[in-house]
């Protein structure tokens, strides 16, 4: 009989203490803790306040756009970005069979990316002026340095001839390339914004940037992890060739959209360009559908999860169900805009963005963390029958995604500002889910540290008399 999947609790092999400091379990805690801080303190808080400011008429006026742009970057780079990078550092040695390359750069990328997001969050609502411009450009430069450091670590580890990363390596390397690309586009856009003396990046110019962040980096990484972990859990053969092809097709679709969007953003308006942009947007539909098939989440051949982990799989199933919704929406809106040679409407882009941001990325982050992080593995041994936190988070995130995406989809029929109510309520539900998850992670981390300390103490006591 197949054994249940065992989640490894420690890093790769035995290392000397100096090596251990740099290589053994790279600083994923720092990344995850700061990711959750960005989500809870800034990203989801602004997700509640921004819609409330409209329905309750707080008169934010021209501050609304800078604050929602700050929300977008806090979520994509601060929350999801830091989480993904921390997980990439932790997972790469395990599936490539190679130690992390340039581990000092992995450490350095954490303060650089965190500071880049913090500076952006200070600069964006600060209005116009020399300080704001300096902060904005410094944030862009730090973001570029952080992305370069991350990409060097990923490529150094995975492009080595001894790497056994396979298709997952394709996804991760491409995600790292797109992470550098988004940092480059962002830097160019913040410099342009500072030169103009504006306090926001013009939305038409930001379209390409956000597309690269959400689909080139975030979705690419999610497929990379899922195409490795889910077949193992579901007793399916690993889909190497299909997954590699999918990574390349997704990369081509994202790149096409980004080039067309940046071209349109530079002021060129042509029907052909709008059609190319809309077709690349529509292409996400079949790609997401193929991705769901390739990872095999809805066609398991076996159930290899330990009994105590069974319920976490519902978070992963839910994330992939939302991916199907995202695929359906992007195909529908993209084909419609392409047929008319028109812009994809803002509400449509917003709907797909939030289906992926809340339904797919946030749910997947929580689900995967609960399945593979040692903190939660230790928690399962302490509380083997505990189900309520996972099911509560699942219910909160699903309702949040439905409310947020529903409000965007209903925009053409629901023009009154009342449609911001479901968005605000969705924000509150998602904030609740992330607070609960963050509390569980911190408690489990403290418990794990206490367990490790007491094991080390017992080992030291046992060795002491023998040495003497
Ligand atoms: C329930 C939770 C959320 C709510 C209520 C919410 C709300 C909003 C609102 C009101 C806007 C402005 C839309 C407009 O211009 O009319 C926005 C923009 C945006 N949101 Fe969210 N959001 C949520 C979660 C997320 C998540 C989890 C992500 C990404 C992981 C995300 C990424 C973005 C992005 C990228 C933008 C565009 C910002 C820009 O224009 O530069 N949001 N969100």
Q: In this predicted structure, what is the pLDDT of residue 14? A: 42
Any idea how long the chain is?
468
Buried-exposed string 382-392: b where 16+ CB fall within 10 A, e elsewhere: eeeeeeebbee
Give the number of the atom of ligand 1 that is nearest the alpha carbon of residue 430: 1
Query: Ligand 1: distance of its center to the CA of 272 in Å?
Result: 29
Rounded CA gap, 151 and 148, in Å?
5
The answer to whether the CB of 430 is under 6 A from ligand 1 is yes
Per residue in 146-166, pLDDT tens? 999 999 999 999 999 999 999
The answer to whether the CB of 358 is under 6 A from ligand 1 is yes
In a domain, 86, yes or no: yes
The answer to whether the CB of 361 is under 6 A from ligand 1 is yes
Return mean pLDDT, the chain: 92
Query: Ligand 1: distance of its center to the CA of 206 in Å?
Result: 13
Give the number of the atom of ligand 1 that is nearest the alpha carbon of residue 206: 41
Query: Ligand 1: distance of its center to the CA of 75 in Å?
Result: 8
Q: In this predicted structure, what is the pLDDT of residue 4? A: 41
Q: In this predicted structure, what is the pLDDT of residue 466? A: 53
Kindly tell me the sign of the dihedral angle through the C-alpha atoms of 130, 208, 323, 300. Answer: negative
In a domain, 55, yes or no: yes
- Which residue minimizes the CA distance to atom 30 of ligand 1? 357
Rounded CA gap, 321 and 331, in Å?
16
CB 198 within 8 A of CB 128: yes
Q: In this predicted structure, what is the pLDDT of residue 56? A: 96
Measured between alpha carbons, how far apart are the two ends of the chain, in Å? 47
In a domain, 468, yes or no: no
Pocket test for ligand 1, best of 43, 52, 56, 68 (most atoms within 8 A of CB): 68
| DSSP secondary structure string for all residues of 13-66 | S---HHHHHHHSS-SHHHHHHHHHHIIIIIIHHHHHHHHHHHHTT---GGGHHH
The answer to whether the CB of 100 is under 6 A from ligand 1 is no
Q: In this predicted structure, what is the pLDDT of residue 8? A: 41
Give the number of the atom of ligand 1 that is nearest the alpha carbon of residue 362: 27
CB 197 within 8 A of CB 133: yes
Q: In this predicted structure, what is the pLDDT of residue 450? A: 86
In a domain, 433, yes or no: yes
In a domain, 170, yes or no: yes
DSSP 415: -
The CATH code of the domain that includes 347 is 1.20.210.10
Neighbours of 198 (CB within 10 A): 15
Query: Ligand 1: distance of its center to the CA of 166 in Å?
Result: 34
Its domain, for residue 325, covers 26-456
| Vertex 456 angle, CA 453 and 461, to 5° | 125
CB 77 within 8 A of CB 143: yes
In a domain, 303, yes or no: yes
Query: Ligand 1: distance of its center to the CA of 81 in Å?
Result: 15
Q: In this predicted structure, what is the pLDDT of residue 185? A: 98
The answer to whether the CB of 448 is under 6 A from ligand 1 is no
The answer to whether the CB of 47 is under 6 A from ligand 1 is yes
In a domain, 393, yes or no: yes
The answer to whether the CB of 390 is under 6 A from ligand 1 is no
In a domain, 14, yes or no: no
CB 150 within 8 A of CB 226: no
- Which residue minimizes the CA distance to atom 37 of ligand 1? 72
Give the number of the atom of ligand 1 that is nearest the alpha carbon of residue 218: 30
CA distances from 202 to 49, 72, 132, 331 (A): 22, 14, 16, 26
Domain count, the chain: 1
Averaged pLDDT in 10-residue chunks for the chain of 468 residues: 40 45 69 98 98 94 92 98 97 93 95 98 84 94 98 97 95 98 98 92 96 98 96 94 98 98 94 97 98 96 90 97 98 98 97 98 97 92 94 98 98 96 98 98 91 83 65
């Amino acid at each position: 009989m197949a054994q249940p999947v065992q989640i490894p609790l420690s890093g790769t092999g035995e290392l000397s203490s100096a090596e251990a400091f740099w290589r053994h379990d790279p600083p994923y805690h720092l990344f995850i803790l700061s990711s959750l801080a960005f989500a809870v303190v800034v990203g989801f808080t602004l997700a509640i306040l921004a819609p409330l400011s409209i329905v309750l008429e707080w008169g934010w006026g021209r501050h609304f756009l800078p604050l929602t742009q700050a929300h977008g970057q806090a979520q994509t780079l601060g929350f999801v970005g830091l989480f993904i990078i921390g997980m990439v550092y932790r997972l790469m040695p395990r599936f490539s069979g190679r130690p992390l390359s340039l581990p000092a750069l992995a450490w350095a990328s954490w303060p650089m990316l965190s500071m880049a997001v913090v500076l952006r969050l200070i600069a964006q609502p600060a209005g116009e002026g020399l300080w704001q411009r300096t902060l904005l450009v410094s944030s862009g430069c730090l973001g570029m340095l952080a992305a370069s450091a991350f990409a060097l670590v990923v490529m150094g580890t995975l492009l080595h001839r001894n790497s056994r990363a396979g298709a997952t390596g394709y996804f991760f390397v491409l995600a790292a390339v797109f992470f550098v690309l988004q940092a480059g586009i962002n830097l160019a856009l913040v410099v342009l914004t500072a030169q103009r003396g504006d306090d926001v990046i013009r939305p038409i110019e930001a379209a390409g940037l956000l597309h690269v962040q959400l689909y080139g980096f975030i979705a690419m990484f999610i497929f990379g992890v899922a195409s490795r972990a889910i077949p193992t859990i579901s007793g399916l053969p690993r889909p190497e060739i299909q997954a590699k092809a999918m990574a390349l097709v997704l990369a081509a679709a994202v790149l096409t959209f980004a080039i067309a969007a940046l071209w349109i953003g530079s002021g060129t308006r042509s029907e052909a360009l709008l059609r190319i942009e809309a077709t690349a947007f529509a292409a996400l539909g079949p790609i997401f559908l193929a991705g769901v098939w390739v990872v095999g989440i809805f066609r398991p051949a076996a159930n290899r999860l330990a009994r105590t982990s069974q319920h976490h799989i519902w978070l992963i199933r839910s994330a992939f169900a939302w991916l199907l919704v995202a695929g359906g929406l992007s195909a529908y809106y993209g084909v419609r805009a392409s047929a008319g040679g028109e812009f994809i409407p803002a509400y449509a882009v917003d709907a797909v963005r939030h289906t992926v941001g809340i339904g797919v990325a946030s749910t997947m982050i929580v689900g995967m963390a609960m399945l593979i992080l040692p903190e939660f593995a230790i928690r399962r041994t302490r509380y083997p029958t505990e189900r309520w936190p996972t099911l509560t988070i699942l219910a909160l995130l699903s309702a949040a995604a439905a409310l947020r995406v529903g409000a965007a989809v209903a925009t053409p029929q629901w023009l009154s500002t009342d449609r911001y109510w479901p968005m605000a309520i969705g924000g509150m539900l998602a904030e609740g889910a992330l607070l609960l998850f963050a509390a569980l992670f911190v408690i489990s981390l403290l418990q794990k540290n206490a367990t490790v300390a007491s094991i080390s103490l017992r080992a030291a006591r046992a060795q002491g008399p023998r040495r003497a």
